[in-house]
Amino acid sequence: MRSFSFLKSASRDSNMSLANARRDMLVLGILIAAVMMLIWNGSEFFQRLAFADRDLGPGLKVASVALTLNVALILFGWRRYVDLQHESEARREGEARAALIASTDGMTGLLNRKGFADRGEELRRGAAEAGQPVVIFSLQLNRFKAINDRHGYDVGDKVLRMIASALEQAVQPGHLVARLAGDEFAVAMAADKDQPAIVEQLGERLLRSVTRPFEVDGRLVQIGAFLGIASSAPADGQIPDFLRRADIALDRAKNARSARPVWFDEGMERALIMHSEIEQGIRYGLDHGQFIPFFEPQVDLLTGDIIGFEVLARWEHPLSGLVEPDRFIPVAEEHGLIGRLSEQVILAALTQAAAWDPSIKISVNISPTQLADSWLAQRIVRLLAEAGFPAERLVVEITESSLFADLDLARTIVTSLKNQGVRLALDDFGTGFSSLAHLRSLPFDVIKIDRSFVSTIVNDRESAAIVRAVSTLADAIGVPVTVEGIEDAATHAALAGYGCAVGQGWYFGKPMSGDQAAALLRSRREKPGDAPPKSRESRRTA
């Protein structure tokens, strides 16, 4: 393995030191021989000089002094030259050793990020001269943290070294293998233009080599991995550019939970750029109040009276106009902006609705990431106080799937809100986990059936059976049912016959601004008994 490179380097340094010592002995011998020859050949001259008469003049004495000084300077200069040679060699050896350490991962002996970039550039230049593309494999382990948590960091380090060895054994000589970060690895190779199948086979071999069981200290350890592949063929660039594209493909593999390698394509990069632009736009929009509430009517299915509104977020973009939530909500959740965005929209909605009919309820959605905030109940109470909105008119909708992450924390938040007088609705009922258990353990006031069942209730017997069963169950435990996604009169009639209390959907009205909602309420008071509007053929996600 590459981890033995340090031992080889130490052995090489020892051999070089021995060679330097031998050279020093040779230089010393030459100097001694030169001095002996000088003494032998100049002995007569020094004897005459020693017994010369004073009348010989100062010239001969000056020459003798100069000769002596020259001999001393030659000896000193030569010795200094030898010392400088030693210092230069030691400096070069130190620089080479530092460069090796700087480019090598100390844990596995593989290349690190810097070493991968430097060696990769050499590989790229050689491949370019040969007319070959460079292929980069970006690999990330899955569930590796669980190894450290369950077995300790010593076992985790051993697994990393085993994975490094497995990767080196899976590639061919000339391929570069690197550990870029804690659980991230990369491989670079020069490939043939017309043989992408060979590249993909290598990618699958790399995945198999790291996801197989490893025996560590008498126990079997197995983890998962995802792999992205990028090639230099579609575009020019440097190794960091190719690695970035392979990382983008890796992210796509992780999001899709793909067990096979995923190739990079230009569409992924465009989507990433758009994603980044949306993120920056959300941050700017939050600072400038661009996120506003829209209100979708909730209607009593028997009387047709509006009893409340569900608050939906809209982005009032200065260039794109009104942006639907499915474009920005997932991005806000991913980057931790959903809490601030939700509070901004809820506060604006409660402030507008505070002046409406006191019987009108306002329903707001809570993101699963917000439900992980232990201070969520206090934040909602603060919004109620700022808006001057009565707590009993607020309905907080919590999706069933979000309860699964931390049921104890969810129970604490729900209880706190209930104690303040806020009503709770279990949203998307039937799409999560352990629905009956949630109804028993959490004090919900409303059950909201997901639109996926409602939209097909007329033509799908299974959907109709599910809605009927939920309605019967809710009636038995005394909890009213709200259904969403009502688009036509037939669906409306069927749901009313099943005993569902409240419904919403485009059949009763599109999501509207606060001013439009206030105007709708005024018109309903002036003209009581209006029938619901006619069915709309088209439908958009609110």
Q: Where are the alpha helices (DSSP H) in 103-135?
A: 113-129
| Cα separation, 200 vs 261, whole angstroms | 7
> 483 with 449: CB under 8 angstroms?
yes
Distance, C-alpha 180 to centroid of its chain: 15
Closest alpha carbon to 259 in 307, 201, 211: 211
DSSP lists the bridge partners of residue 522 as none
204 burial class (0-12, 13-18, 19+ CB within 10 angstroms)? middle
* Residues assigned a catalytic role: 484
Contact (CB, 8 A) for 342 and 367:
yes
- Pairing mode, if any, of strands 321-323 and 306-317? antiparallel
| CA 532/CA 297 separation, integer angstroms | 11
Write the burial class of residue 296 (CB in 10 Å: 0-12 exposed, 13-18 middle, 19+ buried): buried
Element containing residue 425 per DSSP (H, E)? strand 423-429
Looking at 178-291, list the stretches that DSSP marks H as alpha helix, in order from N- to C-terminal side: 196-211, 239-255, 266-287
